[in-house]
Structure 1
Amino acid sequence: MYKIAIVGASTLLGKELKDALSESSLAASDVALFDEEEGLGQLDQVGDEVTFVQAITADAFEHVDFTFFCGTESLTRKFWREALRAGSTVLDLSGALDQEAGVLVRSPWVGEPDVAADLFTPAVVPAHPAALALALLMERLLQAAPVRDAAATVMLPASEFGRAAMDELHQQTVNLLSFQSIPRTTFDAQLAYNLLCGFGENARVNMNAMDSRIRRQYSALAGRRLPALAIQTISAPVFHGHGFSIFAELERPVDLSLLEDAFSGDHVDLVLEDTDSPSNLSATGQNDVLVRLKLEPGLRNANESARVWLWAASDNLRLYAQNAVECALDLRRLRPQGTVQ
């Protein structure tokens, strides 16, 4: 039985992580919920236990085995070293630590990491769900043939930027339908019924920072095993779920059936029916990345080509939480065993 702390427990990601822990082999753990001022005192339930969100005190991390940071980057930077000093294993989902020295970006689902976490690793960053989905898909593509070139457009939902972003998208949609002025506090731009590659200069969320974070973390997962990937991020007017449009040129033509075989397996769900399409709605609540394959017809055979299109979708919050739990399970080997801690 472990003791687990979730910092940023009242955020969308914090709540999803709590549910993922309750469904995992860590469900019997003692889970403490912490957050900043606006989340304090909220009643919540972890498994069968009713608890509440607490303030972070000087002894909050004492005897805590795993601390998940799910809140703002500033909250993580303020307390992560305190968690380390208390002997806790730190897992950062806030995006604050992936450029800190010695911190590893991880996913047990992608290949074999070149450098495994050890007792000297200060913290682990469970890979961002967009970077993880792209790495999973590129790894499967490599099983069919070497990749000469690849590019991806990633469509981000409002939930990627927190509850306030979702609320503003909702209010923008309602106000536009009633011909009223729209709120712009979060995006400083109209996101409803619109696609954006960046937000206004007074926006409270940073599209460029998110773009850079996904690029860095894909590169960290890819290492030297997976192909380089050109990535463009777009903010879509949806509340939940990632969408991916990916083009890849392979070193040699491959048959569609070979590609379909390569995309079978854990964490990726290949959609074969012509009438079905992966979408942010169909991916909701799914643990897998949904993907549809399409070949650009070759000169001699319509079912064989070196040019491949992938359309994919995933539940951004669920994929993030599931990967974070898997990282914690993978790191249990570093926790002291027995009664001495």
Structure 2
Amino acid sequence: MAILGGASLKGKELKEVLEERLFPVKKLTLVDDDEALGQLTDFEGEPAFIQRVAPETFTENDLVFFASMAGAFTRAHWPQAAAGPAALIDLSHALLDVPEAVVRVPFLDEHLQPPASARRWFIVPHPAAIALLTLLVRLQATGRLRQVVANVFEPVSERGAGGLEELQEQTVRLLSFKEFPRAVFDAQVAFNLLPRYGAESRVHLEEVEDTIRREIERCAPALADRLALRVLQAPVFHAHCLSVFVEMESSLEVSAVEAALRGERVAVLGAGEAPAAPVDVAGRDDIVVGPVLRDQKRPATFWLWTVVDNLRLTARTAVDIAETLAG
């Protein structure tokens, strides 16, 4: 097994989940770009070094994860991997332009179109896409779903270690009334909320929004047509927060909405519980929803506050795919 992007935030989280799930690994190869070469880490108590990508990375492994934070690294190496015998699991969304690659969330397989058994290239959806797909699928099961409007608040960890460092440094410098770095976002993220990044940013929020839309469309086209979506950059380090407005065809009791949502990988908070915050979901595999609130003016509409650990949900979904492949 190999992890490309082994030094990235996603790569590190993936390695931890593989260990926790006791996934059978004969040998794990960690590879990354030249900046990370030689970094020392460990796996299952044994030392491991970050290596350079080599031809044997793809010929000697039967499973390859692409876990870089940016798609360029995946796009540079996946054709070589695709020519080999390995199954590919992409956490970087770079294979979304490859028609043969399957966007997959295993715990939703029974509700979505199952992948063809011969497929061996898979895409792990964006964490917000996983959360929204889960909500859409379960609300659709009531037979009354009309439309969903979602505001997704993106954490800086989706931009990798550079995003974390830039938010931290901006916070410190702004409190000292100093100039702050802009290399990642080309904008002030600290103490702020952004509908878009600066013109010189490495990634644009519109691209993130497009990725989420396309991944949902690949999994459930009919449900995607009922979704309106906006992505905003929040000044938080980890965890996606989603403010989701749901309109049903007719009025339902709050308890019926809660029952529809509750199930595998979803924790629904009751009316007497405090809403989840990013710090509350750290290290959790599940999607935390609630409390479910009925809109004060419209009895057939509801507000769902939803929070997920972005890195953990991505890594766990990738390992779920690997476990289905391993049988």
Q: Please give the alpha-carbon distance, in whole angstroms, between the structure 1 residues aligned to 2:248 and 2:137.
A: 13
| Aligned partner (choices 33, 38, 42) of residue 35 of structure 2 | 38
1:317 to 311, 315, 322: 311
Letter in 2 for 1:171: E
How many residue pairs were aligned?
324
Which residue identity lines up with residue 64 of structure 1 in the other structure? N
Q: 1:242 aligns with which of 237, 240, 243?
A: 240
Which residue, out of 270, 274, 278, partners 1:280?
A: 278
Question: Are 1:18 and 2:11 counterparts?
Answer: no
Correspondences of 1:1-341 after superposition (within 5 Å): 4-71=1-68, 72-112=70-110, 113-119=112-118, 121=119, 123-224=121-222, 228-292=226-290, 293-297=292-296, 305-332=299-326
3-state DSSP of counterpart to 2:236? coil
In 2 relative to 1, CA 272–227 (structure 1 residues): closer, same or farther, beyond 3 Å?
farther
Aligned-partner Cα distance in 1 for 2:259–2:158: 32
1:79 offset after TM fit, Å? Answer: 1.3
CA distance in 2, matches of 1:227, 1:175: 44
Q: Residue type of the partner of 1:278?
A: A
What letter is aligned with 1:167? E
Whole-angstrom CA distance in 2 between matches of 1:226 and 1:56: 37
Deviations along 1:233-277, one digit per CA (max 9) or x if unpaired, are 000000000000011110111111212222221111111153411
Looking at structure 1, the residues matched to 215 and 25 of structure 2 have their Cα atoms a distance apart, in angstroms, of 31
CA distance in 2, matches of 1:278, 1:45: 32
Deviating more after overlay: 37-46 vs 214-223? 214-223
Would you say the 8 A contact 2:185–2:198 is kept in 1?
yes
Q: Secondary structure at the match of 1:60?
A: helix
Q: For residues 225 and 74 of structure 1, what CA distance do their matches in structure 2 show?
A: 30
Q: 1:286 to 1:182 in 2, by over 3 A?
A: same
Equivalent residue letter for 1:19: E
Q: Structure 2: how far apart are the matches of 1:258 and 1:102?
A: 38
Distance in 2, matches of 1:79 and 1:288, equals 32
The alignment partner of 1:15 has SS state of: helix
What is the alpha-carbon distance in structure 2 between the residues aligned to residue 29 and residue 23 of structure 1? 16
Q: Give the aligned residue type for 2:8.
A: T
TM-score, normalising length: structure 1: 0.90
Tell me the TM-score normalized by structure 2: 0.94
Q: Distance in 1 between matches of 2:257 and 2:300?
A: 11
CA offset at residue 124 of structure 1? 0.8
Identity of aligned residues (%): 35
Structure 1 residue 137: deviation in Å?
A: 1.3
Q: What RMSD, in angstroms, separates the aligned Cα atoms of the two structures?
A: 1.7
Runs of 4+ in 1 over 3 A off after TM superposition: 223-227
In 2, the alpha carbon distance for the partners of 1:61 and 1:309 equals: 46
Distance 1:319 1:29, change over 3 A: farther
